[in-house]
Structure 1
Amino acid sequence: MLNDFQGERDVAAVLAAGTSLAGAQKSPLQDGKPFVIVPDGYKAQIVDEVFGNPARASGLVKLRDANSFVSYFNRQKRPESLIYASLDPAKILGVIDDHRAYSTVSQGDGANWRGYRVEFAVPASREWKVWTGSDRKGLNQLQFAELIEDNLPDIVSPDGSTMLSVALNFEASKEGNFVSAARLQDGSTNFVWKEDVNATGNKVAMPSQITLEIPVFENGQPSPVEARIKYRIKDGNLTIWYELVRPHKVLETAFRAIWSQIEEQTATTILLGSPE
């Protein structure tokens, strides 16, 4: 019984000692986060807000353009700060408190928190979304005409007046049946349609390829993109579509331009990949 009593006194003494720590304390551990011991279960609870400043900088800053990323990264960067890039999806990530170089530390392995980051998730432009969104999708002549009219400024070859004429002729054919298609010497195709079997055939000339000038990313410089025109006629109906030529290479080139800008203006070599 005496031993049991002594054990209870020891437990009470331990609890009393814990309760005496109820005021905010600064952790002796490396993270330095302040904590209190709360009576319910006597567990440690982090209370950063009782001090004037957090124990260390942390968080994720999300920015919308390269200039903003450069400004923020340069304001916060340290010798250990690194930048990573990935293309799918397009993203630039700066880790302000990345691991330190092993050669620069006298003790330990240079491990750091990697908890303070700045991100530029490079957004695709509206034009890029429109043209890649309809790539290789079969359209009827009216849908194709609307696509041309709505995005006429993006087409640089053939010129705007030629493409507008194509769109208007396609709209005029909405009540007719397509009866044939013939490729001309210049590479374009003549689509022949009739409103009835006895009518004279009407023709719509369509180039075999168009050239776009569109930005790949928001606020980016326009890039040339080639698109081949394809078609199929069946039972009097025309299905027409376009196929972008190697759009992945256009995307890579535009991303590399942003990469080079950030690398130059931050004086930091960008690594291809991402930290875990």
Structure 2
Amino acid sequence: MLKDFQGERDVAAVLAAGTSLAGTQKSPLQDGKPFVIVPEGYKAQIVDEVFNNPARASGLVKLRDANSFVAYFNRQKRPESLIYASLDPAKILGVIDDHRAYSAVGADHDGSNWRGYRVEFAVPASREWKVWTGKDRKALNQLEFAELIEDNLPDIVTPDGSTMLSVALNFEASKEGNFVSAARLQDGSTNFVWKEDVNATGNKIAMPSQITLEIPVFENGQPSPVDARIKYRVKDGALTIWYELVRPHKVLEAAFRSIWSQIEEQTATTILLGSPE
């Protein structure tokens, strides 16, 4: 009986000690966040708002262009701040409170830091890049191809705009006819022959074998040249036509490296290829 009584007193003492923590407490850990012990369930709950400022800076800032990223990173950077870059998807990430160099903190500290304060620039693709890569290697009929050319005529630099507009208009005119042949010419272009009926004289549409675009890869970026090879198939009077961009991944890499170099120079920070976990 005495042993049971002693056990009840121990339990009561533990509960009383827990209840005494109900007021706001300062964490002894490095983050220093204040907390209270909530009576129901006696669960710790963070109460940052009771202080004028958070115990440490944290959060993710998302920006839309390189200049904004540079301005923010330079405003907040510290000796330990680092910048990471990844291409797929295209992104620049600055970690303001990254781990410190071991040599900078001494043998009594391993340099660990919170890595919780970040600034991100998810480099957005331009409208033009999304349009042309979105249709890459997709088979179109002549009307769909004509609409693509007309809607994006300023993007095509070779052949010139008047030539490509003529191609588009001729394709639109052929909508009621049947394609009967396609012949490759000495200059590499192709003559598509179509007729409105069996006895009609054949009409010809000259299509270059390759076009050159000049489009920005990323929003507000400088235009880059991109070649596209024209492919086609004529079957049962129907023309199927498409284009294949030539090594678009290399154009993307070059445009991203340009942004990379700008940020590296203007922040005076060497960018690392990869991402922190």
**Is 1:29–2:35 an aligned residue pair?**
no
Report the alpha carbon displacement of residue 13 of structure 1 after superposing the two structures with TM.
2.4
Q: 1:78: how far off? A: 0.6
- In the TM superposition, residue 54 of structure 1 has moved relative to its aligned partner by 0.8
CA–CA distance in 1 between the matches of 2:200 and 2:17? Answer: 102
Separation in structure 2 between the aligned mates of residue 42 and residue 92 of structure 1, nearest angstrom: 42
2:258 is paired with a residue of what secondary structure? helix
Residue 257 of structure 1, CA deviation: 0.3
What's the offset of the Cα at 1:254?
Answer: 0.2
Partner SS, residue 255 of structure 2: helix
Q: Name the SS of the counterpart of 1:31 in structure 2.
A: coil
Deviation at residue 103 of structure 1 after TM alignment: 0.6
Aligned residue number for residue 112 of structure 1: 113
**What SS does the aligned partner of 2:21 have?**
coil
Residue 185 of structure 1, CA deviation: 2.0
TM-score with structure 1 setting the length: 0.98
Q: Offset at 1:4?
A: 2.3
CA deviation digits over 1:25-56, x for unaligned, max 9? 11011111100011112221111111111111
CA distance in 2, matches of 1:40, 1:210: 71
The alignment status of 1:244 with 2:274, answered yes or no, reads no
Structure 2: how far apart are the matches of 1:239 and 1:224? 26
Deviation at 1:157, TM superposition (A): 0.7
Give unmatched runs, 5+ long, in structure 1: none
| Partners of 2:170 and 2:9 in 1: CA distance | 98
Task: Out of 106-115 and 191-200, give the one that drifted further.
Answer: 106-115
Q: Which deviations, in whole Å up to 9, do the C-alpha atoms of 1:52-81 show, x marking residues without a partner?
A: 111111111111111111111111111111
Alpha-carbon distance in 2 for matches of 1:145, 1:38: 68
Moved more, 145-154 or 10-19: 10-19
Tell me the distance in 2 between the aligned counterparts of 1:133 and 1:273. 26
* TM-score normalised by structure 2 residue count: 0.97
How many percent of aligned residue pairs carry the same amino acid? Answer: 93
1:104-183 map, 5 Å? 104-105=104-105, 106-183=107-184
1:62-101 to 2 correspondence within 5 Å?
A: 62-101=62-101
Q: For residues 114-148 of structure 1, give each alpha carbon's deviation from its aligned partner in whole angstroms, at most 9, with x where no partner exists.
A: 11111111111110010001001111110000000
5+ residue gaps in structure 2? none
Tell me how far apart the structure 1 counterparts of residues 51 and 69 of structure 2 sit (CA, whole Å): 30
Distance in 1 separating the partners of 2:3 and 2:34: 38
1:15 deviates by 2.0
**CA-CA distance at 1:18 after TM superposition:** 2.2
CA distance in 1, matches of 2:8, 2:267: 63
Q: Find the aligned partners of 1:41 and 1:181 in 2 and give their Cα distance.
A: 80
Which whole-Å deviations, capped at 9, do the CAs of 1:125-181 have from their partners, x for residues lacking one? 110010001001111110000000000010011111110000000000000111111
**Cα offset for 1:98?**
0.6
Structure 1 residue 266, shift from structure 2 partner: 0.5
Q: What's the CA shift string for 1:89-126, capped at 9, x where partnerless? A: 11111111111001111422101111111111111111
Superposed structure 1 runs of 4+ greater than 6 Å apart = none
**1:134, 1:51 → 2: CA distance?**
55
| Distance of 2:186 and 2:95 partners within structure 1 | 58
**CA drift at 1:188:** 1.1
Instruction: Using the TM superposition, give the Cα deviation of residue 21 of structure 1 relative to its aligned residue in structure 2, in angstroms.
Output: 2.0
Q: How far apart, in 2, do the equivalents of 1:7 and 1:52 lie? A: 44
| Paired residue secondary structure (1:20) | helix
Q: Distance in 2 between matches of 1:8 and 1:53?
A: 43
Q: Which of 102-111 and 7-16 deviates more?
A: 7-16
